[in-house]
Structure 1
Amino acid sequence: MAATTITTDDLREFRMELLDDLKELLSNQSSTISKRWLKSPEVRKLLGISPGTLQNLRINGTLPYTKVGGVLYYDYEEIMTVMKENRIHNKF
């Protein structure tokens, strides 16, 4: 089995590539979260819920929404507020 020598320059190059990849991932993530108004498919993806569950959250008043024409919009901050308010802390 042959041994491979890793130099300091190799590590420096790897570090720079890794930092570039992380910056790209973070910029992509922040651009999706910076949207204030989300449509139903985006909310379902964010929360990992089905269309029926989202409808139930609207009907029972858990999740506020705005309807413009035939499109439903949800405020990202209000979704996060609902999630925080309904957090359950188990105490053992």
Structure 2
Amino acid sequence: MNVITFESEAYQALVDKIDSLSQLIDIHQQKVNPDEAWVNSDDVCTYLGISQRTLQRLRTNGEITYSLLAGKAYYTISEVKRLLENRIVRSTAQSVDELCDQYKKRINSFQGKGK
């Protein structure tokens, strides 16, 4: 094991920089509009009460926009809301509210881990 020593002033400067970065991240995350948040297929299926196959069919037919990242599909919450508004998927607005709440909880849990 290697031991690294710091002068207390250098250590305090490093801690101050980390704290300021943490504050910037917190401020940025508070400004994020939940409608612009990205959620995965599992979340969409769970909260809309549809199957993975139904979601795949929506993608194939071009009825929902999505992005692929490492082979996994992600959707914006605003796109999920559009599905409901246009009656492409039968579900309730409460389902989308629950999806937004779940997203906020996930973001808050990440914030808690970083502190």
Query: Normalised by the shorter chain, which TM-score bucket?
Result: 0.5 to 0.7
Bigger share in helix: 2
Q: Secondary structure at the match of 1:43?
A: helix
Q: CA RMSD, aligned part only?
A: 1.7
Q: Secondary structure at the match of 2:39?
A: strand
Whole-angstrom distance in 2 between the partners of 1:85 and 1:59? 18
Structure of larger gyration radius = 1
Question: Under a length normalisation based on structure 1, what TM-score does the superposition of the two structures give?
Answer: 0.53
Give the C-alpha shift of residue 85 in structure 1.
2.0
Q: Which residue of 2 aligns with 1:54?
A: 55
Q: Which residue of 2 aligns with 1:83?
A: 84
Show structure 1 runs of 5+ residues with no match: 1-33, 88-92
Task: Read off the aligned partner of 1:51 and give its amino acid letter.
Answer: Q
Size of the alignment, in residue pairs?
Answer: 54
Give the C-alpha shift of residue 52 in structure 1.
0.7
Question: Under a length normalisation based on structure 2, what TM-score does the superposition of the two structures give?
Answer: 0.43
Show structure 2 runs of 5+ residues with no match: 1-33, 89-115
Structure 1 moving runs of 4+ over 2 Å: none
User: Which structure has the higher relative contact order (CA within 8 Å, separation 6+)?
Assistant: 2
